[in-house]
Chain A
Amino acid sequence: NAGVTQTPKFRILKIGQSMTLQCAQDMNHNYMYWYRQDPGMGLKLIYYSVGAGITDKGEVPNGYNVSRSTTEDFPLRLELAAPSQTSVYFCASTRGQGILETQYFGPGTRLLVL
C-alpha cells in the first residue's frame, strides 16, 4: 500500500492564481482531512469528508473548496491564491469515525504564494 499520497510536493503561485492540491489514499479509508501548517504552528483543519459525496468545513475553510467524488480521492482547490495561504498542506485519512481512530498523513505539499 502507498498509504496517503499528495501531489505536488512543492508549488509557487502568483497572487490570484488557482490550483488544485491532490490527495489520494489506497487504504479504503472513509474519512479524509485537509490541514494547513504554518511555520512553528500546529495543524489547522480546513475541510474534512466522512465519505464519498460528503464534505464539511473545519476551522479555517475560507479560500478553499473540496470535493469527494470517490473514496480514494480528496482534492483541495484554491481559487484565488493569496499570500496568507502560503503554508504546508497535509492530507490525512482514518478508517472510520470514533475516538480510537488514528490519522495517517501524506507527505505534504509546500505552497508559496507571491
Chain B
Amino acid sequence: GQQVMQIPQYQHVQEGEDFTTYCNSSTTLSNIQWYKQRPGGHPVFLIQLVKSGEVKKQKRLTFQFGEAKKNSSLHITATQTTDVGTYFCAANTGNQFYFGTGTSLTVIP
C-alpha cells in the first residue's frame, strides 16, 4: 500500500513561534490532504492540494505541494494555543486514504 511518512512526530513551540510539518512519499501522489485532530477529538479536513507546486493559504496556515508531487508541508505562522493538536497528511488513491503518522503540536503559552 501507499507509504506516507511524516516528520517530526512531536513539536513543542512557544506561542508566537512558527511551526512546520513535512509529509513525504516515495511515489508520486495524485493529491495530498491535510487533517487536524484536536486532543480527544476526531480528524477534521483542512485542505487538499492537487497540482504540482501548489500553494494554498488559510489565514496563518500555508500548505505546499512539491514540484514532483512526492512531498508536502504545512507551515503555521505565529502559533496560537488554538493550534494545539495533531496534524495529519493523507494521500487519496480514489478508493482508499493513506494517512501519515501525524505531527503532534504543543503550544506553550
B97 and A45 contacting across the interface, CB-CB below 8 Å: yes
B92 and A99 contacting across the interface, CB-CB below 8 Å: yes
Chain A interface residue bracket vs B: 20 to 34
Per-residue B-contact encoding for A5-40, CB less than 8 Å = 1, 0 else = 000000000000000000000000000010100001
Q: How far is the CB of B49 from chain A (nearest CB, A)?
A: 11
Chain B interface residue bracket vs A: 20 to 34
Q: Which residues of A contact B93 (CB under 8 A)?
A: 99
Q: Which residues of B contact A56 (CB under 8 A)?
A: 95
- A1 close to B (CB within 8 Å): no
Q: Which residues of A contact B101 (CB under 8 A)?
A: 41-42
A108 and B42 contacting across the interface, CB-CB below 8 Å: yes
In the complex, besides A42-B101, A59-B1, A99-B30, 4 extra interface pairs with C-beta distance below 8 angstroms are A41-B101, A42-B102, A100-B31, A101-B92
